[in-house]
Amino acid sequence: MIETTLDSVVGLRDAVAATEFATNPSAAAEAEAVSDQIDDYILPRLANIDAPLLAVVGGSTGSGKSTLVNAIVGRQVSTSGVIRPTTRQPVLVANPGDSEWFNSGHVLPGLAREQGEAGANPSATSLRTVASEAVSPGLALLDAPDFDSIDDRNRALASQLLAAADLWVFVTTPSRYADQLVWNFLHDAAGRDIEVIVVLNRVDEDALATVPDDLRRMMAEAGLGQATLFTVPDHGQVEGLLPEELVAPLRGHLQRLAEDAAARRSMAAKTVQGALGSVAERVERLAVERQRQEEFGAQLGETFDGNYLRARDQVIDATSDGNLLRQEVLQRWQDFVGTSDAFRSIERWYSMAVDRIGSFFTGRPAPVREVETEIEAGLHAVVVDAAETAATRSWSHLGSAAPELRASSDPALAHADADINGQAAELVRQWQAGLVESIQETAGDKRKRARIMSLGL
């Protein structure tokens, strides 16, 4: 049963990853997030429901996440700073007995691992893992970058890490607890049915009288009424570790969870089930968007096809009304073929020219070479202009219908192909060759064919 589920999820992941959303960048980002969550959390958790839990500690800039993690562990394992973003590199702290699971790449396989203490230049694109006996076996803590970071990469990484969690430890403060961005994440947690612990940090006496109750009310309204809320008093301390007694309730709660194998298994099963349900809903929305995109693409295709059909008509019209020849050249040719309306269409022109070609073959002088050169130059110009006009119209329409798509497209698409002159010249040569071949076939005797050849036709 598990193998069947794993195969199905892998197939879903592959399908989502292979789907393009060229006209909707937000849908493309959502598809990437879905693929990441399947790889980072769902597949490893389905493969091992009893593996250690991952508690991701998240929150806004300056909420004190790293300080709390350091206090729980009893030493500084996560470094924060006064320059935003205050947390740059994610740090995972696990019991030595669980280190192999987290270092092997089962969870968050896309992030490179760095083990031990932070270097001089911590990387925001890697996960630093620290082994500590202060963390109970069965549950690891991960200090994530700020989810409201001014750095786009940090913000995206924070979301990715939260999506890989069995348990969210959300840290906020009396000044930030009502921020909309905080509640966007908490609403997502409620939708995923993930276990959430909310930590109201740095609470002074004035805030203690009102903020916790208001926060509980907001949690209940968001569907998180069963979530656990911890309040950490404001100690006023900036440097060093927080006093142990301030974080003892939170540490004890996490330790009891880690020591209860049945509770861990139940939480993991509940969370992965919620993640699967959330992914199914998101994939359904992506499928609708993909269908909309295909319909939109078909509409664009019809418009582009129409532009090039107009270009074709432009060429046909130009070859039908005599505009390919200067007036004096046209007059001499019309005098030769004996008609004043020979150029109303290519078909009529060719037909009447062939009908009257006899006088040409008997030696009557005719401006054939001048006409040939004039037609070649004129037809070449018409083809190039028509192609350029069609490309310009299509590019302009793309800008109004799908500006994001045009912004990411090659600007060269605003013009005809770079080799349009060569292509048009070859097209004209092929047309002329076909016309001459037809005339030669119609010529009949050897004397007429020799006359054609002598004039270069």
Q: Which two tokens stand for residue 270?
A: 């509940």
Contacts of 173 (CB under 8 A, 6+ apart): 62, 63, 64, 200, 201, 202, 203
Pairing outcome for strands 139-143 and 91-94: antiparallel
Q: Is the pLDDT of residue 346 over 70?
A: no
Q: Considering the domain boundaries, does residue 16 fall inside one?
A: no
Q: Is the pLDDT of residue 249 over 70?
A: yes
Q: Single out the residue of 42, 40, 27, 45 nearest to residue 283, CA to CA.
A: 27
pLDDT at 299: 92
Q: Are 382 and 319 in contact (CB under 8 A)?
A: yes
Q: Considering the domain boundaries, does residue 439 fall inside one?
A: yes
First to last CA, the chain: 77
Do residues 64 and 181 share a domain?
Answer: yes
Own/partner contacts of 219-225, CB < 8 Å, gap of 24 or more, are 219/186, 222/183, 222/186, 222/187, 222/190, 223/187, 223/190, 224/186, 224/189, 224/190, 224/196, 224/198
pLDDT at 367: 52
Secondary structure (3-state) at 222 = coil
More confident residue, 265 or 335: 265
pLDDT tens track for 288-301: 999 999 998 899 99
pLDDT at 205: 93
Q: Considering the domain boundaries, does residue 300 fall inside one?
A: no
Do residues 214 and 72 share a domain?
Answer: yes
Do residues 89 and 207 share a domain?
Answer: yes
Task: Tell me the pLDDT band of 359, cut-offs 50, 70 and 90.
Answer: very low
Q: State percent of the chain over pLDDT 70.
A: 78
Angle at which helices 65-73 and 244-259 pack, to 10 degrees?
70
Q: Considering the domain boundaries, does residue 57 fall inside one?
A: yes
Q: Considering the domain boundaries, does residue 111 fall inside one?
A: yes
pLDDT tens track for 2-58: 666 899 999 999 999 999 998 888 999 999 999 999 999 999 999 999 999 999 999
pLDDT at 272: 95
Do residues 138 and 235 share a domain?
Answer: yes
- Domain with residue 252: its CATH number is 3.40.50.300
Q: Where are the alpha helices (DSSP H) in 200-345?
A: 205-208, 211-221, 244-259, 261-320, 327-337
Q: Considering the domain boundaries, does residue 440 fall inside one?
A: yes
pLDDT at 210: 96
Could you list the residue range(s) of the whole structural domain that residue 356 is in?
321-454
Task: Tell me the pLDDT band of 337, cut-offs 50, 70 and 90.
Answer: very low
Cis amide leading into 85 (omega within 30): yes
Dist. CA 33–CA 279, nearest whole Å: 10
Q: Considering the domain boundaries, does residue 282 fall inside one?
A: no
Dist. CA 311–CA 387, nearest whole Å: 6
pLDDT at 87: 56
Q: Single out the residue of 143, 218, 208 nearest to residue 186, CA to CA.
A: 218
The amino acid at residue 408 is S
Do residues 236 and 98 share a domain?
Answer: yes
Secondary structure (3-state) at 241 = coil
Do residues 105 and 236 share a domain?
Answer: yes
Do residues 344 and 248 share a domain?
Answer: no
pLDDT tens track for 91-129: 999 999 999 999 988 899 999 999 877 654 566 678 999
Contacts of 312 (CB under 8 A, 6+ apart): 386
Do residues 245 and 335 share a domain?
Answer: no
Q: Is the pLDDT of residue 376 over 90?
A: no
Domain boundary among 243, 259, 275: 259
More confident residue, 395 or 318: 395
Q: Mean pLDDT in the chain?
A: 83
Do residues 234 and 370 share a domain?
Answer: no
Cα angle 318, 320, 326 (rounded to 5 degrees) comes to 65
Q: Considering the domain boundaries, does residue 281 fall inside one?
A: no
Angle at which helices 327-337 and 368-401 pack, to 10 degrees?
120
Q: Is the pLDDT of residue 280 over 70?
A: yes
pLDDT at 448: 54
Do residues 172 and 76 share a domain?
Answer: yes
Q: Which of 128-132, 182-186, 305-309, 402-406 has the lowest mean pLDDT?
A: 402-406
Dist. CA 414–CA 313, nearest whole Å: 20
Do residues 369 and 243 share a domain?
Answer: no
Do residues 238 and 358 share a domain?
Answer: no
pLDDT at 244: 92
Helix (H) or strand (E) holding 375: helix 368-401
Dist. CA 387–CA 393, nearest whole Å: 10
What is the total count of domains within the chain? Answer: 2
Kindly state the average pLDDT of the residues 169-193. Answer: 91
Q: Are 80 and 164 in contact (CB under 8 A)?
A: no
Domain boundary among 259, 274, 289: 259
pLDDT at 238: 61
Secondary structure (3-state) at 294 = helix
pLDDT tens track for 198-223: 999 999 999 999 999 999 999 999 99
pTM to 2 decimal places? 0.72
Beta bridge partners of 126: 112
More confident residue, 94 or 354: 94
Domain boundary among 259, 279, 311: 259
pLDDT at 408: 82
pLDDT at 317: 82
pLDDT at 449: 54
pLDDT tens track for 62-99: 899 999 999 999 999 988 654 444 557 899 999 999 99
